[in-house]
Amino acid sequence: MSRRLPSKDVVIVGLGWTGSIMAYELAKTGLDVVAIERGPWRDTASDFNIGTAPDELRYAIRQDMFLRPKQESITMRNNLSQTALPIRKWGSFLPGNGVGGAGVHWNGQTWRFLPDDFRIRSHMTEKYGAAIMPENNLIQDWPVSYADLEPHYDRFERVAGISGKAGNINGKIIPGGNTWEGARSRDYPTPPLRQGYAQDLFTKAATDRGLHPFPRPSANLSTAYTNTYGCRMGPCTYCGFCEWFGCANYSKASPQTCVLPVLVREKTFEARTNCEVTKVNLATDGKTATGVMYVDEQGQEWEQPADLVLVCAFSLFNVRLLLLSGIGKPYDPNTGEGVVGKNYAYQTGTGSTAYFEDAKFNPFAAAGSLGVALDDFNSDNFDHGPLGFVGGASITCAYTNGRPISYHPTPPGTPTWGSAWKKAVKETYQRVTSVGAQGSVMSYRGNYLDLDPTYKDPLGRPLMRMTFDYKDNERKMSGFMADRCDEIAKAMGAKQTVVKKLVGPWSVVPYQTTHNTGGAIMGSDPKTSVLNRYLQSWDVSNVFVMGASAFPQNAGYNPTGTVGALTYWALDAIKTYLKAPGPLVQA
Amino acid sequence: MNGARLAAICGAVLFSHAALAEPDNYVEAARGKALITAGDCVACHTAPGGQSYAGGLALDTPFGAIMTPNLTPDPTTGLGNWTADDFYHAMHEGIGRDGQHLYPAFPYTAFTKVTRADSDAIFAYLRTLPAVVNAVDRNSLPFPFDIRAAMIGWNALFFTPGTFTPDPKRSDEFNRGAYLVEGLGHCGTCHTPMNAFGANKADVFLQANQIDNWIAPNITDDARLGLGAWSVEEIMQYLSTGQTANTVASGPMADVIVHSTSQMPQTDLHAIAVYLKQRGAAGSATPAVLAASDPHMQSGAAIYVDTCAACHTTSGAGIEHAFPRLAKDPAVQQDDPASLIRVVLAGTRAVATNAEPTALAMPSLGYRLTDAQVADVLTYVRNSWGNAAAAVAASDVAKLRTEVGGPVNAATP
């Protein structure tokens, strides 16, 4: 029996980056806001003691902060001809759990997508002709431009304190920064991190080859910083415990460091943790949400009525909640009709591991975003004509960590155990680096999300089913990138390199990246998108959906910068909406 | 005091248990609210999780726990039947409505300096509070301290009633600061050492005192131990926001900042700062600095680099507005290292205010440092980068560890 609570102005599903920003900005205007989060409360002071936060076994191996399969799993298959099976352990990607979401345990690479990324279909077709577009693709232009988002990228960077070096301020190209980037209105709020010896070698090798390396933008801050909300952050200590860890030094931007200190002071804000939203409730007309249902820790079901519902969970779970709530028509890959679950995409990871004879690197002096990158092979910064693929990658030489359990590279041919292995680990630890390419993934007819017909969660709701594999376009693109990485690695002086390309079907088992995108995409046409350009549901106008689920396809970058920009972009639209509720774009 | 107004207040007392302020009394009540904020009365007169001013907090004293009374206008359990005269009597002389002596845990030794007009304004504000029924055991002290008449003797020895008298040779601002610090703000209650009878020693006013296993540090103008290196603006910033660039408030002072000083007008904070800076310097003589070759210093240096330097930096400079500076910091060099020991053992959290919302935390390290290691690292901190203070003994750490709790390293002897 569910129990009904007094109505709120705004209910927010999930208290990560997007949920906390929305909660703070809206509570600040006096609105009554409740955020419902299925995981626990977390904050730096009580959860990330400097003495225990860098516990690799607890956090990286046993995945202390991540979603547990018993809370939610998915089923997975590579294509429509297969039967999807549930995963028993999260692997290829690790969704967060609890306040802060994935913003707690991310590495902190904070990119702006390039101007061409937002109109990729038009741009590629205009420049190369329709033939360059891959088979069965569903690539769409974004309904917003880089220029639309620029001020909002800036707002997010100012809240997160991002460390970097601009390459293009109002059209003025600045050597040493990312000269390929879209024009930004001003430089990053803090200077770039200090780089290591491997990055120096990479910079020299890349520059010698006519490429344009730059320190990659980082949410691990180079200096102390006070953000636009008045929150204080400390400088990064390069401890190398970023990804999969909470930062105990207040130096990684996260909801904990950048938003919660001011959010918890808002008297009209309330957080309910360990409470899982099960459904967005709709009025009988199906066009208005009346609030959400959720289940608390004791298993009690509650109805939380609200005037406005903001879906701010992790991208995959945004899509599932829409499917479970009947918001938007589910996508059917056979007919091509429907929109929810469509355009699911991911990321490619290829590159070259470089073994040196004389070098002495310090992989332990690391940070999640420490590294030098180049964008000469990203987006359409290079000639795709002779290559026959769409998309690109950012190429980076980085040290995110040199942690004792997971980081012990050995050259090919080393035994996997015993004294020879130990000797090789010891000899190799400081003599290896890598050049990696994080690449775009386009959207295709057969890559999508829907509800599984067989498997259910503990509450009896269908699990989500993921149907995904890399297509020829991505294999071609990422292979090309791996070769570019290898060239640079050799030019850096590596005596031996090992090239990694995509091989075989995509596997859900080994960790790859948690950059899952799409499924509730934004667009200009309700027939091909779930959300309008303001992240507002085409079908239910008092529902807005934040996050990377809105990306029509994925670019060759980490998603968080763009997720942050879209949040502030949508925030302004929501403020307009609140003055006169209704669709912000007429279908 | 306006007679008609007093009559109005008495009328409220006698005839209206709803205890709403008379409409014409609003200005007086608002003034009283500002004064009661400066006095931080809510801190002691509110139980954990209880209603503001409804009392019931157990105040630990060396003589036992004293339960604070209910100040709301409830007639049976609060001050509902009190008059402004009764209230002033309590503030000025430490004697309750029933003629019983109050214990000096209620700092009437300071409040005696409060003017009658201010006392009346505070009382007027208390009348506006919702009446809360909260019966408090007012006789919780064990024998012989439960004999309140004993306070007659105590008062004879340690207490002279008397309203604050401005010093005509000083500025109005200094006198305002003195009135707030010595009187209503009762800063000396925590910051002045006590004698064996629990009385603040007048001759060492504001020269540091241990309370609840924290050190309320020296706040005279002493260069090494007090506010000598602080500017007036820094003192104001600390009281107003809870921090300066180099230090943050935590522990009991965090509560004072949240409930009191962060809500006080800047003019009053300026007056307090001006007063404190002119109080003169008074601190113990600078001890000889321990040599870096001392084995405890060497051990402490190694622990410091391993455990502390990531935030506080190897030079002890800290990070402005994030991690407090340890070099030449008065709090680090207090004669009594209790605060230092407890924050290392149990951790602490900075105060959060609207101006400074990020309440950074010092993590607890007692679970992995032995008593000797804590002593050594603190000895190192207290004798490095220009600091000079007595070495910390492992036995001091062991004693405090039993008081402040926190996880214990299995290796601790």
**Do the Cβ atoms of B310 and A232 come within 8 Å?**
no
Question: Which residues from chain B sit within 8 angstroms of residue A44, using beta carbons?
Answer: 360-361
Size of interface A-B (CB pairs under 8 A): 61
What pLDDT is stored for residue B406 in this prediction? Answer: 59
Q: Is B34 on the interface with A (CB under 8 A)?
A: no
Q: Quote the minimal CA–CA distance from A2 to chain B in Å.
A: 30
Q: Are strands A462-467 and A448-456 parallel, antiparallel or unpaired?
A: antiparallel
Q: Say what the pLDDT of residue B22 is.
A: 54
Closest residue on chain A to B364 (Cα): A49
CB B271 within 8 A of CB B180: yes
Instruction: Find out whether A255 and A100 touch, Cβ atoms under 8 Å.
Output: yes
CB contacts under 8 A, B 288-347 vs A, are 307, 310-311, 319-323, 347
Taking the mean position of all CA atoms in its chain, how far away is CA A203?
26
- Given a contact cutoff of 8 angstroms between Cβ atoms, the answer to whether A347 and A475 are in contact is no
Q: Do A230 and B359 touch (CB under 8 A)?
A: no
**B165 at interface of A, judged by CB pairs closer than 8 A:** no
pLDDT value of residue A38: 96
Residues of chain B with pLDDT under 70: 1-24, 406-413
Q: Which residue of B has its CA nearest to A47?
A: B363
Closest CA to A498 of A415, A417, A556, A433: A433
CB contact under 8 A, B347 and A51: no
Cross-chain residue pair B357–A257, CB shorter than 8 Å: no
* DSSP-assigned states of every residue in A428-466: HTTSEEEEEEEE-B--BTT-EEEEEEEEE-TTSPEEEEE
- The predicted structure's pLDDT at residue B280: 87
What are the chain B neighbours of A45 within 8 Å (beta carbons)? Answer: 349, 359-361
Q: Which pLDDT score is estimated for B408?
A: 52
**Hey, are the CB atoms on A45 and B360 less than 8 Å from each other?**
yes
Say which of A51, A231, A262 has its CB closest to residue B363: A51
Of A235, A266, A273, give the one whose Cα is nearest residue B312: A235
Contact A248 B363 (CB under 8 A): yes
* A515 classed as catalytic: yes
CB contacts, 8 Å: A261 with chain B: 352, 357-359
Q: Do A232 and B323 touch (CB under 8 A)?
A: no
With CB atoms and an 8 Å threshold, state whether A50 touches B355. no
pLDDT beneath 50, residues of chain A: none
User: What distances in angstroms separate CA B386 from CA A547, B208, B315, B330, one per listed residue?
Assistant: 51, 21, 10, 11
Matching residue, tokens 């201010």: B118
Looking at residue B283, its pLDDT comes to 85
Interchain contact, A224 vs B321, CB within 8 Å: yes
Angle B230-B232-B236 from CA coordinates, rounded to 5°: 100
- Residues of chain A in contact with residue B349, where contact means CB-CB under 8 angstroms, are 45
A572: number of Cβ within 10 Å = 14
User: Which residue of chain B comes nearest to A235, CA vs CA?
Assistant: B319
pLDDT at B17: 41
From B305's Cα to the closest Cα of chain A, the distance in A is 13
A159 in B contact zone (CB under 8 Å): no
Cβ of B358 and A248 within 8 Å?
A: no
pLDDT at position B139 is 82
Q: What is the DSSP letter of A262?
A: H
Residue A568 near residue A258 (C-beta atoms within 8 A) = no
Secondary structure class of A498 (helix, strand, coil): strand
Residue A354 parent element (H or E): strand A348-355
pLDDT at site B14? 39
Contacting A residues, span 40-99, partner chain B, CB-CB under 8 Å? 44-46, 49-51
Scanning A195-224 for CB atoms below 8 A from B yields 224
Q: Which of B241, B305, B358 to mutate to test the interface with A (most CBs of A within 10 A)?
A: B358
- Least CB–CB distance from B310: residue in A237, A261, A262: A237
Q: Output the CA–CA distances (angstroms, integers) from residue A408 to A120, A414, A432, B14, in the order listed.
A: 40, 12, 10, 81
Contact A59, A449 (CB under 8 A): no
